[in-house]
């Protein structure tokens, strides 16, 4: 279980002038975690933790209370569905975004049913990623009746 807290990344600033959205990345591929971390840091997000498996994702969600958790659909320890259920239980305020190269309807529906607010494909560009994550925060706010 490797822990990577994004040490050494520049402090992001929110383009909206509000608080910086805090993100947990859960993916078993260290290259994917590194690319997403760099994209998010350059896009005004703060990566508070990265997890290599389902158990780390759930533990880090409880510890860090991120605004958003990007969760790989297929990772060790039970995969994205188990991680989503665990994160929702540990940190219900966290918006969960499913991440996968597999865009099959079955996979997307499983993650949405488990509690993800949206789905993104691996390899998405930094600008599109930022927009999708900001929309996920707005969706979470609508669902909770709050502001986003």
41-50, 53-62, 70-79, 137-146: range with lowest mean pLDDT: 137-146
Q: What is the pLDDT of residues 59-116, one digit of tens each?
A: 999 999 999 999 999 999 999 999 999 999 999 999 999 998 887 888 889 999 999 9
Q: Which CATH superfamily is domain 22-142 in?
A: Response regulator (3.40.50.2300)
Q: What is the pLDDT of residue 6?
A: 37
Cα–Cα distance, 122 to 72 (Å, whole number): 9
Q: What are phi and psi of 101, to 5 degrees?
A: -85, -20
Which tokens in the block code for residue 67? 């605004």
Cα–Cα distance, 79 to 5 (Å, whole number): 21
């Amino acid at each position: 279980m490797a822990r990577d807290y994004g040490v050494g990344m520049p402090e992001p600033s929110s383009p909206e002038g509000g608080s910086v959205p805090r993100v947990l990345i859960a993916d078993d591929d260290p290259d994917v975690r590194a690319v997403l971390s760099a994209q998010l840091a350059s896009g005004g997000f703060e990566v508070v933790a990265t997890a290599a498996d389902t158990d780390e994702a759930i533990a880090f969600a409880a510890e860090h209370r991120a605004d958003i958790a990007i969760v790989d659909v297929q990772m060790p320890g039970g995969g994205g569905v188990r991680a989503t259920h665990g994160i929702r239980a540990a940190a219900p305020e966290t918006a969960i975004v499913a991440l996968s190269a597999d865009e099959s309807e079955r996979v997307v529906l499983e993650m949405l049913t488990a509690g993800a607010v949206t789905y993104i494909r691996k390899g998405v560009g930094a600008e599109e990623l930022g927009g999708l994550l900001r929309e996920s925060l707005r969706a979470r706010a609508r669902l909770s009746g709050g502001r986003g």
